[in-house]
Structures are given as structure tokens and as C-alpha cells.
Amino acid sequence: MNRTFKTFRIYAGAAVSAALCVPALALPTPALAQATSASQLDEVVAALRAISTLQADFVQTDRSGQSVSGVLTLKRPGRIRFQYQKGVPMLIVGDGKALTLIDYEVKQVQRWPIGNSPLGALLDPRRDVRKFGTIKPTGNPNVISVEVRDRSHPEYGIITLIFTRDSAAPGGLELTYWVALDAQNRRTTVRLSNQRYGMAVPDSTFRWTDPRPRTRR
């Protein structure tokens, strides 16, 4: 097993969590800033709700700079699949209730509730982005950065979603990347490209084969 995959295994769970350090910028007056933030949060919520299905290529990078790539498939609500590149015998699947990390090399399976992951902001319709989200200044009117965290549950981690204005994307905003920080302070960036929307995605896409002995799914 090469060094890249060893490092990836250590940080794989952080694919579903991260934080973005945004440099300090000059802000408008408080009242205007609040109005602008509320408007942008409304835009983000509308864009997320407008996504029915999404497929995209992704590159996942951990804090040490190691990267792996693959294909992301998302079906709202609750379903997501990270299919990693050839040679990376791991899979992350969300089936609507839980996120599952399957490591086929060591035959291990880990599961945790979607709501306990920063990715719940993308997947869990019960997560209120307006309640937990904070707009972060970017200095670019065509880029919206929203940090989502539940301060009453710091163990859920933080996710910062970056959207770019694109009239062809659902809601006029395209999710271009996110940065996550999990409860163990492991940082992961996931960048998307070649986004495609609205295709038919069967539920079987989010099934997986259990590598543990005598257990099949």
C-alpha cells in the first residue's frame, strides 16, 4: 500500500467534515451587512433545495496536501456516494440515515448519523442552514461563503460551503467546493468540477457490499 493511501486512510473520515480560514476584509455598515448576509443565506438555502441530483468529479485534499480524486453522486434528501479513484479501496455512502465509510482493504465499516456530520448541511433536510449558517466575506460578489456549525454540538464539526454564481446551476449558485473540520481537528477540502444536475439516479447507487465475513448488503 503506497504512502498516499496510508495518509488518505488516516484522514478519510474527514471527507465528511472542515473549516475555512477567511482573511479579514472591510465590512459594510452593520445593518447593511446583516441584510446582505440574510439575503445570501436565503440564496444558499434556495440553491440547496433546488438540487434534486448532482454528479461531479472531485478532488479531496487533506491538511498534509495528499489528494485523491473520484466521482461524487448526490441525491437529495440524504443520499451521497464518494466513489474514489482506482487503487483506493474505500467508499463513502450516505443512504439517507447514516454515512458509511467502507474500507475494503482491511474489511472495516464505520457508520455515523448524517445529522452528526458537517455534510448534514447538504444532505439532511432537518438541518436549518439559516439557523446554523454564517456568511463569511469573500470580497467577490459572485462568490458566497457560508460556514455551517451547530454551536450546541461542537462534536459535529464545521463545514464551509463555497458557491459561485452561475445562471445554469439550480438556484443560480453552483457549489464549487467545501472545506471541513471534524471533531478531531482534521481538515479536508473537497473541490468539485464538471457538475451535472437533474439526471436520474437509482437508489441502488447508494448500496454497498459489506466486506466483513458472512455479511452482505
E strands along the chain, which residues? 53-62, 67-75, 79-84, 90-95, 98-103, 108-113, 133-136, 143-149, 158-165, 173-181, 187-197
Tell me, letter by letter, the H, E, C secondary structure of 197-215.
ECCCCCHHHHCCCCCCCCC
**Statement: 3-17+29-194 belongs to CATH 3.10.20.590:** no
* All structural domains of the chain with their residue ranges: 3-17+29-194
Which of the listed ranges 16-25, 115-124, 200-209 does the model predict with the highest average pLDDT?
Answer: 200-209
What residues contact residue 126 under an 8 Å CB cut-off, 6+ apart? 115
Mean pLDDT (the chain, rounded): 79
**Burial per residue of 157-195, b for 16 or more beta-carbon CB atoms within 10 angstroms, e otherwise:** bbbbbbbeebeebbbebbbbbbbbbbbeebbbbbbbeeb
Phi, psi dihedrals of residue 181, rounded to the nearest 5°: -125, 120
- Per-residue confidence band for 21, with pLDDT thresholds at 50, 70 and 90: very low
Alpha-carbon gap, residue 60 to 203, rounded angstroms: 24
Residue 156 has pLDDT above 90, yes or no: no
- Per-residue confidence band for 56, with pLDDT thresholds at 50, 70 and 90: very high
Count of all residues that appear for the chain in the document: 217
